[in-house]
Amino acid sequence: MTEDLRTLAEPTFADLTTLRVGGDMDTLVRTTTEAELIDAVRAADDAGEPVLILGGGSNLLVADEGFSGVVIQDQRSGLRVESADSCGGANLTAPAGHSMDELVAEVIDRGWVGVESLSGIPGTVGAAPVQNIGAYGQEISGSVANVRVWDRGRGRVRTLSLVDLDFGYRTSMLKRSTQMPHSRAGEPGDVDPRAPWYPSPRYVVLDVSFQLRIGTLSTPIVYPELARRLGVEEGARAETSAVRDAVLELRGSKGMLLDTGDQPDYDRWSAGSFFTNPIIPADLVADLPEGVPVFPVRTATPTTTTGPALGTIDPSVVKVSAAWLIERAGFGKGYGVDGPDSAARVSTRHTLALTNRGHATANDIVRLAREVRGGVDAAFGIELVPEPVLVGVSL
Ligand SMILES: Cc1cc2nc3c(=O)[nH]c(=O)nc-3n(C[C@H](O)[C@H](O)[C@H](O)COP(=O)(O)OP(=O)(O)OC[C@H]3O[C@@H](n4cnc5c(N)ncnc54)[C@H](O)[C@@H]3O)c2cc1C
């Protein structure tokens, strides 16, 4: 069955990623059932071929040389609601291929609470727990109940609980199992030089189950900029539909939405934030220039067993604004390695997004990323960690 699904790949990574760079792929398999998805992964693993599970391509930087292996994309969509009552909240499951933002919109429409601040994040449900997507004070870890995966190591389906998933800031056990050889996204000790699963996780997400609260008032708004936009005190709640509107407006003003318009908006040709915000010991903030924005780091350990949770603040560490460090190191909005006509430039609306100005190659993005990373290191002694998954390139 899987053999029938294999096509000689016509699209390139430039066609299937939001950075719109990257070369060819050997084989693209698009699957429409769970059995097909598992078969495709198992067949490639058995044949010793590298596997890239592709969602919306919004967190990938793939080399101009492309990827020699099998690219597998789950095409399933549709929510399954297991229960929705005021006692146990709303319990629902979505397949990996479902659009994450469509899930957020539907959850709000149905009068459920817990993912409203994640409005506008591109990509699929399957990729969302991999890097524990987050924005404006919410992370997906606060609403996930469990994740069903195909374990490529053991060759069987497993259901992973919150404890197994071990979520952290832009990471999880799923992401760590990718074993990226040239990134510090996992703990250094986790990196296995054989890296057998890279560039995708050992655990292929089949579907994600969520537990949400019933209601129309959001979780507490802890992100100051969002609270200001909504006109509420920090820590207060707001209507979930108003939160979605405000988040989409804020994201739009920063170019942090997908480019879907008729005219190209190159600030949106990105992978979102190119670097994560560095987490440093709280007592080292004094060594940084005055005024550097810092944010609390919340543990992803659930604080409640029924419904959305924001986690508790860990006072020993803080998150430093990578955008601020980049700007202060001399890479302002619109910066390009070759001047204003550079093919790859820092977004003109947000210094954390590296963008393709219409004709960039993966190599152009890499040159810019290296320069920014080196400049921040030289200025502040902080090594920025790339957020997207790098395939065939390294910084
Ligand atoms: C404009 C813009 C704004 C963004 N804003 C944010 C933001 O605010 N917060 C945030 O956290 N991220 C943000 N991102 C990054 C990105 O949207 C998220 O990381 C998203 O979860 C990636 O989903 P995807 O389906 O596109 O994954 P892809 O880019 O296709 O894949 C990313 C990784 O996940 C793996 N993967 C994909 N599907 C599966 C699966 N079913 N099982 C196992 N592994 C899988 C891939 O193999 C790869 O390693 C933004 C990106 C863009 C372009």
Residue 46 located in a structural domain: yes
Same domain flag for 29 and 117:
no
Same domain flag for 45 and 114:
no
Residue 112 token pair:
């459920």
**Of 198, 214, 230, the domain-final residue:** 214
Same domain flag for 54 and 115:
no
> How do residues 133-183 score in pLDDT, each as one tens digit?
999 999 999 999 999 999 999 999 999 999 999 999 999 999 999 865 444
Same domain flag for 11 and 124:
no
Same domain flag for 107 and 205:
yes
The type of residue at 312 is T
User: Does ligand 1 have an atom closer than 6 angstroms to the CB of 135?
Assistant: yes
151 alpha carbon – ligand 1 mean position (Å): 20
What phi and psi values does residue 205 have, to the nearest 5 degrees?
-70, 125
**Of 177, 197, 214, the domain-final residue:** 214
353 alpha carbon – ligand 1 mean position (Å): 14
pLDDT-derived band at 188, boundaries 50, 70, 90: very low
311 pLDDT higher than 80: no
Picking from 205, 209, 210, the residue whose alpha carbon sits closest to that of residue 96 is 205
| Half-sphere CA count of 385, side-chain side, radius 13 A | 21
Residue 351 to residue 325: CA distance in whole angstroms: 9
> How many domains, the chain?
3
Residue 271 located in a structural domain: yes
Same domain flag for 86 and 191:
yes
**Of 26, 47, 74, the domain-final residue:** 74
pLDDT-derived band at 250, boundaries 50, 70, 90: very high
The position carrying tokens 């598992």 is 38
Same domain flag for 89 and 179:
yes
279 pLDDT higher than 60: yes
**DSSP H/E element including 53:** strand 51-53
Residue 292 located in a structural domain: no
Residue 147 to residue 207: CA distance in whole angstroms: 6
Residue 51 to residue 69: CA distance in whole angstroms: 6
Helix (H, G, I), strand (E, B) or coil at 346: strand
Picking from 207, 212, 94, 92, the residue whose alpha carbon sits closest to that of residue 160 is 207
Query: What is the pLDDT, as a whole number, of residue 284?
Result: 87
Percent of the chain topping pLDDT 70 = 91
Same domain flag for 69 and 166:
no
Residue 119 located in a structural domain: yes
User: Does ligand 1 have an atom closer than 6 angstroms to the CB of 137?
Assistant: no
Q: Which atom of ligand 1 is nearest to the CA of 74?
A: 41
Indicate the range of 110-119, 282-291, 301-310, 344-353 predicted with least confidence.
Answer: 301-310
Note whether 382 and 325 are within 8 A (CB). yes
CATH number at residue 393: 3.90.78.10
Same domain flag for 108 and 183:
yes
Residue 316 located in a structural domain: no
152 alpha carbon – ligand 1 mean position (Å): 20
**Most confident of the ranges 88-92, 185-189, 304-308:** 88-92
Question: Which structural domain range is residue 361 located in?
Answer: 263-277+321-395
User: Does ligand 1 have an atom closer than 6 angstroms to the CB of 129?
Assistant: no
Residue 14 to residue 9: CA distance in whole angstroms: 13
Note whether 147 and 129 are within 8 A (CB). yes
Query: What is the pLDDT, as a whole number, of residue 226?
Result: 97
Query: What is the pLDDT, as a whole number, of residue 18?
Result: 98
Residue 231 located in a structural domain: no
Residue 60 to residue 252: CA distance in whole angstroms: 21
Picking from 247, 249, 256, 258, the residue whose alpha carbon sits closest to that of residue 223 is 247
Same domain flag for 146 and 272:
no
Please count the other Cβ atoms lying within 10 Å of the Cβ belonging to residue 153. Answer: 12
Asked whether the whole model's pTM tops 0.75, one would answer: yes
Distances (CA, A) of 155 to 46, 150, 158: 10, 7, 10
Same domain flag for 172 and 94:
yes
CATH number at residue 144: 3.30.465.10
Residue 243 located in a structural domain: no
pLDDT-derived band at 366, boundaries 50, 70, 90: very high
CATH number at residue 64: 3.30.43.10
127 alpha carbon – ligand 1 mean position (Å): 5
Query: What is the pLDDT, as a whole number, of residue 301?
Result: 60
Same domain flag for 267 and 386:
yes
Residue 286 located in a structural domain: no
DSSP 67-88: EEEEEEEE-----EEEEEETTT
Substitution site in 30, 130, 180 for ligand 1 pocket (most atoms within 8 Å of beta carbon): 130
